[in-house]
């Protein structure tokens, strides 16, 4: 499985990459804090899933999702957020996000929920 992870928190990226690659032997995670780099990477390589933080300085996760969908990219997309509520969830679903996960829980539980979403439940049909 190839995962593209976009978040402005380098610690979250590093820990997520370690956890997810440890979970599945054949999993490769490309992690970046740069949304523009993420868009370039998504054009060059096929990912099985893209996971993006909602709140980032240059471009939020919904803007990344919208950009990808406008280009016809249908890669399963998960939005993560510690900020935002129903309005963000509704916008994410309207932009064709596959999942919306809140980042407001204990780190261990958070990693488990994200990992379970990616590996144990189909992200898209």
Q: Which of 59, 49, 58 is nearest to 97 (CA)?
A: 49
**Pick from 117, 122, 105, 125: nearest CA to 23:** 117
Average the pLDDT over 53-70 and give the result. Answer: 93
Q: Is the residue at 42 inside a domain?
A: yes
Pull the structure tokens for residue 65: 């999702």
Report the distance separating Cα 124 and Cα 36, nearest Å.
25
What is the CATH classification number for the domain harbouring 39?
Answer: 3.40.50.2300
Residues of the chain with pLDDT > 70: what percent?
89
Kindly report, residue by residue over 16-41, the tens digit of the pLDDT: 888 888 877 888 999 999 999 999 99
Residue 67 lies in a domain: yes
User: Does pLDDT of 122 surpass 70?
Assistant: no
Residue 26 lies in a domain: yes
Q: Is residue 28 part of a domain?
A: yes
Domain assignment of residue 125, yes or no = no
DSSP states of 33-63 = S-HHHHHHHHHHS--SEEEEES--SSS-HHH
Q: Is residue 11 part of a domain?
A: yes
pLDDT bracket for residue 90 (50, 70, 90): confident
User: Is 46 part of a structural domain of the chain?
Assistant: yes
SS3 state at 102: strand
Tell me what the mean pLDDT of segment 103-125 comes to.
66
> Structural domain tally of the chain?
1
Instruction: Supply the pTM of this predicted model.
Output: 0.86
The verdict on residue 123 lying in a domain is no
pLDDT above 90: residue 6: yes
Which residue range(s) make up the domain with 80? 2-117
């Amino acid at each position: 499985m190839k995962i593209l992870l976009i978040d402005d928190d380098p610690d979250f990226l590093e820990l997520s990459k370690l956890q997810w690659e440890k979970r599945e032997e054949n999993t490769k995670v490309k992690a970046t804090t740069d949304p523009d780099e993420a868009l370039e990477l998504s054009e060059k390589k096929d990912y099985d899933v893209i996971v993006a933080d909602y709140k980032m300085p240059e471009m939020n996760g919904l803007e990344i999702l919208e950009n990808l969908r406008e280009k016809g990219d249908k890669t399963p997309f998960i939005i993560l957020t510690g900020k935002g509520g129903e309005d963000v969830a509704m916008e994410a679903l309207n932009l064709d996000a596959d999942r919306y996960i809140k980042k407001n829980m204990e780190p261990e539980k958070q990693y488990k929920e994200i990992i379970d979403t990616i590996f144990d439940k189909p992200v898209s049909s």
